[in-house]
Amino acid sequence: MPHSPGRPGPSIARRFARLALGAALSCCGLALVPHPAHAQATSVDSTATLLWTAPGDDGMSGRATRYEMRYRNVAIASGDTASWWSAAVVASGMPSPSAAGATDSVQVRGLDPTRTWYFVIRTSDEVPNWSNFSNVAIRPPYIDVIPPGKVSDLQLAAAGITSGGGLLPASIKQLQTPNR
């Protein structure tokens, strides 16, 4: 019997991909929502790169048929991943699954860099049977704490002192008013 993206399929209910943001990750786990992966923004332009290990069509063998990733700026409350999933945005540009064990990735663009973002992925086979929800990958707000570099080559272009009709460069000492 086919299953919708909101419900796990019985034949693959225990398999899921582990997600990470901006870093390689381990293969598959069994917990519904293990400890969150740490996030890393790819740039200040509101883009997050997510990586995961491709599961197979049947467990870790073969090739799955489809991925569906969703994301929100609201955390999953009380372990209610199904409600969270229903309200989340579907990520566009998902790749076709690679062979089991390979690393797949996608870039999610247009994220508000001042918000925390939560990502979850599911995998489907050809029936389609849907996997359980992956772990939650979390991208914290991007906070720029590095100040701009200092200007170290400030100089006076021309002091306005004339000699023979042209401007002469002058140092700061030459422009100071003499003591009276």
User: What is the residue type of 164?
Assistant: G
For position 33, what pLDDT does the model report? 30
106's tokens: 């996608």
Neighbour-count burial for 37-53, b at 16+ CB within 10 Å, e otherwise: bebebbeeebebbbbbb
108 touches 137 (CB < 8 A): no
In this prediction, the residues of the chain whose per-residue pLDDT falls under 50 are 1-17, 22-42
For position 98, what pLDDT does the model report? 96
Which of 15, 24, 8 lies closest to 104, judged by CA? 24
Could you read off the pLDDT of 39-60 as tens digits, one per residue? 444 455 689 999 999 999 988 8
Give me the domains of the chain, ranges plus CATH numbers. Answer: 10-139 (2.60.40.10)
For position 147, what pLDDT does the model report? 86
For position 32, what pLDDT does the model report? 25
Preceding amide of 128 cis, omega within 30: yes
Could you read off the pLDDT of 85-100 as tens digits, one per residue? 999 999 999 999 999 9
Q: How would DSSP label each residue in 44-107?
A: TTTEEEEEEEPP-SBTTBS--SEEEEEEESSPPPTT-HHHHHHHSEEPSSPPPP-STTSEEEEE
Which of 92, 106, 131 lies closest to 12, judged by CA? 131
